């Protein structure tokens, strides 16, 4: 009886895992990040197959050798974000100026239209 409930629980866990992976895969397909998802799945599968000692050595090698790259990537990302935000603010200001100029021109155009009354229409007939 205990084996049946244990099998049922493990089946439920694995079905939930597969369902979650399917949802993430569909989301990555719709956002265009499917290649990164495939790379992540392959990496996790390779890590899953490693022994405990091998995994420890791989993690130490990666963290010691490539860990400092995180600081460089973070600095470049922050610099890129600052540039993008400046560009976005400049673009926003240009658009707001353009919209206000167009609005002013339209308002001036409405004011310059000659007004014709209905009395004049009746006299012209």
pLDDT value of residue 93: 95
Write the pLDDT tens digit of every residue in 11-53: 788 889 889 989 999 998 988 888 999 998 998 888 888 888 8
**Phi then psi for 36, rounded to 5 degrees?**
-65, -35
**Nearest one of 56, 39, 55 to 47, comparing CA atoms:** 55
pTM value is 0.40
* CB neighbourhood size of 58 (10 A): 13
Q: What is the DSSP letter of 68?
A: T
Write the pLDDT tens digit of every residue in 72-88: 889 999 999 999 999 99
**Residue with more model confidence, 68 or 82:** 82
């Amino acid at each position: 009886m205990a084996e049946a409930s244990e099998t049922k629980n493990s089946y439920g866990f694995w079905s939930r895992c597969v369902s979650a992976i399917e949802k993430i895969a569909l989301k990555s397909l719709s956002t265009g990040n499917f290649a990164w998802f495939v790379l992540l799945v392959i990496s996790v599968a390779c890590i899953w197959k490693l022994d405990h000692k091998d995994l420890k050595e791989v993690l130490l090698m990666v963290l010691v050798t490539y860990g400092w790259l995180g600081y460089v990537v973070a600095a470049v990302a922050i610099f890129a974000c600052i540039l993008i935000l400046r560009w976005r603010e400049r673009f926003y200001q240009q658009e707001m100026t353009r919209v206000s100029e167009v609005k002013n021109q339209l308002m001036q155009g409405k004011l310059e239209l000659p007004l014709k009354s209905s009395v004049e229409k009746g006299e012209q007939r």
